[in-house]
């Protein structure tokens, strides 16, 4: 596939994404092989859908899936620091569930820092986190994900689920967005 004209460079290509999801699925299989209770992969909409769908195909331990919709960003590229829950888990059996939150990116850390406490507070048996991309240089909340696909520099990335102004989510690779697109 030719590179999208708004993309400065491809940061993680399709082959590397495939290798990353294979490795992460192996780590999840190893760690949850003897889990007591249900194992639930929780996809954080919308950015995580492509990562979630590729990852869940490769995990071989029995899992259930669920979704949440949260938002920490206002319009554009700046983080507001606020976390809103638009779609919550609708389960009566949360005390039986080992929740593994699936994220596309950890930036400030606000979203996952909040969500882990929130879901533990709801009584989940365990709560862990898996992110495709980690930008530790941007952290304002002290948060370390349990599973990390790839550490990346502080660049504006899109594709493989990630957007700018709701565009570029369907690109099959992670790319760096040209500054001219968002600095107009
Ligand atoms: C993005 C991303 C994470 C969060 C990370 O979601 O998917 O949920 O921001 O940022 P943080 O570490 O600074 O909290 P966004 O609110 O852009 O929604 P989207 O996934 O629907 O695009």
Asked whether residue 47 is domain-assigned, the answer is yes
Does residue 42 fall inside a structural domain? yes
Counted domains in the chain? 1
| Number of helices followed by number of strands (H, E) in the chain | 4, 9
CA-angle at 55, arms to 124 and 51, nearest 5° = 95
Report yes or no on 2 lying in a domain. no
163 Cβ inside 6 Å of ligand 1: yes
- Is 107 a known active-site residue? yes
- Asked if residue 37 is part of any domain, the answer here is yes
Of residues 1 and 97, the one with the higher pLDDT is 97
Residue 69 has a CB neighbour count (10 Å cut-off) of 13
From the CB of 132, is ligand 1 less than 6 Å away? no
Residue of 107, 154, 163, 165 marked catalytic: 107
Which whole number is the average pLDDT over 23-38?
Answer: 97
Give the predicted TM-score (pTM) of the model: 0.94
CATH of the domain at 52: 3.40.50.2020
Q: What digits encode the pLDDT tens for the residues 99-150?
A: 999 999 999 999 999 999 999 999 999 999 999 999 999 999 889 999 999 9
Determine, yes or no, domain membership for 168. yes
Residue 60 CA, ligand 1 centroid: distance in Å: 27
Mean residue pLDDT of the chain comes to 93
Does 174 map to a domain?
yes
- Indicate which atom in ligand 1 lies nearest the CA of residue 71: 16
Asked if the structure places residue 1 within a domain, the reply is no
Asked if the model's pLDDT at residue 153 lies above 60, the reply is yes
Q: Single out the residue of 100, 109, 128 nearest to residue 43, CA to CA.
A: 100
Q: Give which of 161, 160, 157, 162 is closest to 175, Cα–Cα.
A: 157
Domain limits at 148?
A: 7-182
Instruction: Identify whether 85 is part of a domain.
Output: yes
Q: Whose CA is nearest to atom 13 of ligand 1?
A: 108
């Amino acid at each position: 596939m030719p590179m999208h004209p708004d993309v400065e460079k491809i940061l993680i290509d399709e082959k590397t994404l495939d290798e990353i999801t294979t490795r992460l699925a192996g780590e999840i299989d190893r760690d949850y092989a003897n889990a007591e209770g249900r194992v639930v992969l929780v996809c954080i909409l919308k950015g995580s859908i492509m990562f979630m769908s590729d990852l869940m195909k490769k995990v071989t331990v029995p899992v259930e899936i669920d979704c949440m919709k949260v938002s920490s960003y206002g319009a554009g590229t700046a983080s507001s620091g606020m976390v809103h829950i638009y779609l919550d888990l609708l389960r009566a059996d949360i005390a039986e569930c080992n929740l593994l939150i699936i994220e596309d990116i950890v930036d400030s850390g606000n979203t996952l820092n909040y969500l882990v406490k929130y879901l533990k507070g709801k009584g989940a048996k365990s709560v862990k986190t898996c992110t495709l991309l980690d930008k530790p240089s941007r952290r304002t909340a002290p948060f370390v994900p349990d599973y990390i696909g790839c550490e990346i520099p502080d660049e504006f990335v899109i594709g493989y689920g990630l957007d700018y102004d709701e565009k570029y989510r369907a690109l099959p690779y992670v790319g760096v967005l040209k500054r001219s697109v968002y600095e107009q």
